[in-house]
Structure formats: structure tokens, C-alpha cells
């Protein structure tokens, strides 16, 4: 598996059980897992992986607030700057879940 595909799978794993924000959770988790494999991961790698996952129908983006229901976003939102208010979250789709559950041989850890 190449670096880009591995990062994409690690990102999918990070969003498989809850809505997650890039700057709050996803970057930290994927960077920690990648470091165990000797890889350095930047925020732009995570944003790129999320864009590919959304384009492939494996993930969706949402706006979450403490006052109302989640609002699904069309496509990939612009995440050029670090979010300070943590409103943009990502979650796996059914298609993504099916892929995640069907192929566990890629997982590089015990």
C-alpha cells in the first residue's frame, strides 16, 4: 500500500465510530499511527485524504453545533486554516463502513 492510500485508510479508521474534526482529533490520531510506521503526516495530507474519501462516497462532512442537529455539507469544505471553533466534522458513510469492515489486512498494527 502506498503512502497516500495508507493515510486515507488511517483517516477512515479515525472517523469510523464518531463525528471527528481534523484539528481536534483526526490529525493527532493519524499522525501518531503514521509515526509508528516511520511516516510524517501534515495537516494537508489529512485534508487531501478527506477530500478523496468524500469524492469516493466513503465519508461525508458535517457542520455540528451544540444547539441544533448536524447539517450535512455538499462535498469537501474549505479547510485551509486551522479551525478554532471546531464546527466541521467528518463521519464514515455506509459504503465506507462496508470497505472498512471488509478489508482488515491493510491494518499495520496488532
Average pLDDT taken over every residue of the chain: 91
Alpha carbon distance 7, 20 (integer Å): 16
Q: What is the pTM of this model?
A: 0.90
* Domain extents in the chain: 3-102
37-57 pLDDT tens trace: 899 999 999 999 999 999 999
| Percentage, residues of the chain above pLDDT 90 | 71
Model confidence at 108, in pLDDT bands (50, 70, 90)?
low
3-102 CATH: 1.10.10.10
Predicted pLDDT of residue 101: 84
Range scoring the smallest mean pLDDT among 7-16, 37-46, 61-70: 61-70
Mutual orientation of helices 3-14 and 94-102 as an angle, nearest 10°?
120
Provide CB contacts within 8 A for 16, sequence distance 6+: 92, 96, 97, 100
Confidence of residue 81 (pLDDT cuts 50, 70, 90): confident
Nearest CA among 84, 78, 76 for reference residue 24 = 84
Q: Residue 109 pLDDT > 70, yes or no? A: no
Amino acid at each position: 500500500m502506498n503512502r497516500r492510500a495508507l493515510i486515507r485508510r488511517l483517516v477512515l479508521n479515525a472517523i469510523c465510530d464518531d463525528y471527528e474534526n481534523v484539528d481536534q482529533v483526526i490529525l493527532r490520531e493519524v499522525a501518531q499511527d503514521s509515526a509508528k510506521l516511520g511516516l510524517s503526516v501534515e495537516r494537508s495530507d489529512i485534508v487531501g485524504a478527506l477530500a478523496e474519501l468524500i469524492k469516493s462516497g466513503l465519508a461525508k462532512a458535517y457542520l455540528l453545533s451544540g444547539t441544533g442537529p448536524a447539517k450535512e455539507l455538499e462535498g469537501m469544505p474549505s479547510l485551509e486554516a486551522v479551525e478554532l471553533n471546531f464546527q466541521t466534522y467528518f463521519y464514515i458513510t455506509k459504503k465506507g463502513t462496508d470497505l472498512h469492515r471488509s478489508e482488515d489486512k491493510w491494518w499495520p498494527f496488532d
